[in-house]
Structure 1
């Protein structure tokens, strides 16, 4: 029985996702473009990342990792995602913060092992019932977030697909709509939706779709035949999903024998060894293909000495993803020790990492980024507002300038304007202060704050 409900609609906005605009590293004919693939500036860092991509593709990056260092808001996460995008559209990308490993539910080693195995994919070919065609239109439905009244979440979408011989309009649930957003699906893209799992895949740009600055969208023919069909497709799993499947089978056996199922808080080593053997056999028989992905660990300075030892060993294992870490710290103590080291990372670990640096953005880059973010959110910016936001980004921070965009847009709408003016930015700037201004405020009233 299908667990994903897709309804065909008989004939009768806005999209936001973190870093969904990143399509690659912005490389054209081996050269870094100033603005491409969602990136602006950081040309040296992107060129270094592209060299790393080439080393990985040539199979000469075993036993190594990547460390991205730079001030806050300089695109470290985007750079890691760009590396994954350059490795291929199917490359798994798992992101976590260094502070996430400290859990009362799961041991650190178990948490990291699950993350590592989620970053390794397996492609298996089989016949599936799918919806396939060129996107003629897509509309998203949004509603209030159940836990945060100030946020919105996607509730679903209505998407029209066509082939050379057929056309259907589908109403899809939130799980599929979220994938459409994350994949950046637009009118003119050729996509496929698995009816049972709800997995969305993008084949490329249709013959009639405009070719924007998106090299990952190759030109493809519009499919023939019906939109809804049976087709041989490639199913994608991760090693962690295989582990969990085997662990659940083990739990069912316990339930049948002893009358209860043990709770799987930690996957036993023998289950993972069994999963590895199954995967190896399937790959050797030519029925599957292994796809190493990227494990990105932000705030790497929050990791402790035991975690660094675990990751060092993990880099040398047979089934290992590309490990990319990022930090905005200078010299800091290695957590769990009294040793002070660059970026809070032990020297022996640093020796195994290829280090890429990012730098603060220039005024020109800040202006371009603010313009791109405004376009993404359908916010019309007046020239005076763009100039003011650029100067705020230079004086304070890029993040602060971007945080003022939506509040200024709301004020502009309330004042009956269709575009944001400088006075709208000044108004919200008086209500929301920057980190720099917050520090100055605390210093001015130091005697009145509690210690």
Structure 2
């Protein structure tokens, strides 16, 4: 049993690390599929977002069989963010798996790595009757400590959360497992969640309709505030991936695997067949439904012929995720051959891909992105500091400007300020240089190198 206690006092809040794409909630499209300038955490790239909206509609209508998506554009134009937006557009619980071409090519077991990625990209939505704590999050605070393996990272050890319905209000203290889930799901005030009283599993159900528009970002799913008591019997819908089930069944068969000379976590083709058969029965009984997710592979030009062949076959399968590739290369050699091809991808694979392009961000778009990231990371910026960072983003790179947010905020606090001023940004740029400046600096001393 997990530990959940009712409390009266709330601890002091401390900051915990925020993921790079936690602010993205969808593609930011209106009911006609047209992109809004700023919505769902995305800014600009209207053409690409509308194209992915068409892809999302094709997926929902079952018309993406045998097809994939290729996003092409310069570095720092939001290719990964768009892939995350596509997954969120398909549903809050749609699995999203991101990989890099170098990660795949660096593995000695590429086939197994890709198979696991494919299985992690396919969800199984299961329905069960459970006792849960459900309500709108009215307050959430964390007690944090240093990570046991990385002292530079703070991790939640406990959380105090206040849940409210139209008829009830309860404050709970939850243990580390639940606190970590709350952080991973990006739960904040105004979200409607449910916590399984027995297993501690957290379900993010949506956003309270009364608070569905925060900071100009319209969230994907608006949910009516629950009625009745916070603690109740409820049908819970949660999503596992096929890989989750694979590893669970492999662990159940660990003694047999050990006798056969395999490791306790080995997932064999036989285990996968058993899982597929069981899931098929669940679907027939109405206990579950399949949720195709998004498998995103960045730097696709680094993949070799064997990997492209695997992905091409995977697209043809009845049960397959939406495969989204991304690259910033024009022409490149197909790895493993001497042939050059567009984007370093074989022509027969390119024929299966819908190609979407991204464009460099404008100054105003960079400023909007910085405002969203600052709000997500809890960084308070003065108007002048925001303009300074936007200038940095335009002249150098958006990633560099985003990376300066926390250093500038830390410098501001060291100088006794709660709001980042332009001089804090300037001090951060002196302390943390961009790539072009670091290369230029080292080039001055190249004659002294061996």
Residue by residue, what CA displacement relative to the aligned partner does 1:90-111 show, whole Å, maximum 9, x if unpaired? 211112222223566x621111
- For residue 92 of structure 2, the aligned residue among 66, 89, 94 is 89
Contact 2:192-2:223 at 8 Å conserved across structures: no
Displacement of 1:267 in angstroms is: 2.5
Q: 1:401 maps to which residue?
A: 401
1:152 aligns with 2:150: no
* Rounded Cα–Cα distance in structure 1 between residues aligned with 2:4 and 2:285: 35
Q: 1:170 maps to which residue?
A: 172
Pair 299,424 (structure 1): closer, same or farther in 2 beyond 3 Å: same
Residue by residue, what CA displacement relative to the aligned partner does 1:40-77 show, whole Å, maximum 9, x if unpaired? 11111111111111111111110111111112211111
Q: 1:221 maps to which residue?
A: 225
Displacement of 1:207 in angstroms is: 5.9
Displacement of 1:222 in angstroms is: 2.0
Pair 44,413 (structure 1): closer, same or farther in 2 beyond 3 Å: same
Pair 57,254 (structure 1): closer, same or farther in 2 beyond 3 Å: closer
Per the normalisation by structure 1, the TM-score is: 0.91
* Rounded Cα–Cα distance in structure 1 between residues aligned with 2:207 and 2:431: 44
SS of corresponding position for 1:191: strand
RMSD between superposed Cα atoms in Å: 2.3
Displacement of 1:261 in angstroms is: 7.3
Residue by residue, what CA displacement relative to the aligned partner does 1:280-315 show, whole Å, maximum 9, x if unpaired? 222122222111111111222232221111111011
Report how many residues are paired: 443
SS of corresponding position for 2:282: helix
Pair 417,134 (structure 1): closer, same or farther in 2 beyond 3 Å: closer
Per the normalisation by structure 2, the TM-score is: 0.91
SS of corresponding position for 2:54: helix
Q: 1:46-65 maps to which residues of 2 (within 5 A)?
A: 46-65=49-68
- For residue 44 of structure 1, the aligned residue among 43, 47, 62 is 47
* Rounded Cα–Cα distance in structure 1 between residues aligned with 2:5 and 2:317: 45
Residue by residue, what CA displacement relative to the aligned partner does 1:112-146 show, whole Å, maximum 9, x if unpaired? 11110111111222222221122121112333233
Q: 1:224-303 maps to which residues of 2 (within 5 A)?
A: 224-225=228-229, 227-253=230-256, 262-264=262-264, 266-303=266-303
- For residue 115 of structure 1, the aligned residue among 106, 114, 117 is 117
Unpaired runs of at least 5, structure 2: none
Displacement of 1:279 in angstroms is: 1.6
SS of corresponding position for 1:125: strand
1:201 aligns with 2:203: yes
* Rounded Cα–Cα distance in structure 1 between residues aligned with 2:391 and 2:209: 42
Contact 1:207-1:222 at 8 Å conserved across structures: no
Unpaired runs of at least 5, structure 1: none
Pair 324,443 (structure 1): closer, same or farther in 2 beyond 3 Å: same
Q: 1:345-384 maps to which residues of 2 (within 5 A)?
A: 345-384=345-384
- For residue 6 of structure 2, the aligned residue among 5, 8, 23 is 8
Q: 1:441 maps to which residue?
A: 441
Q: Which 10-residue stretch deviates more, 295-304 or 45-54?
A: 295-304
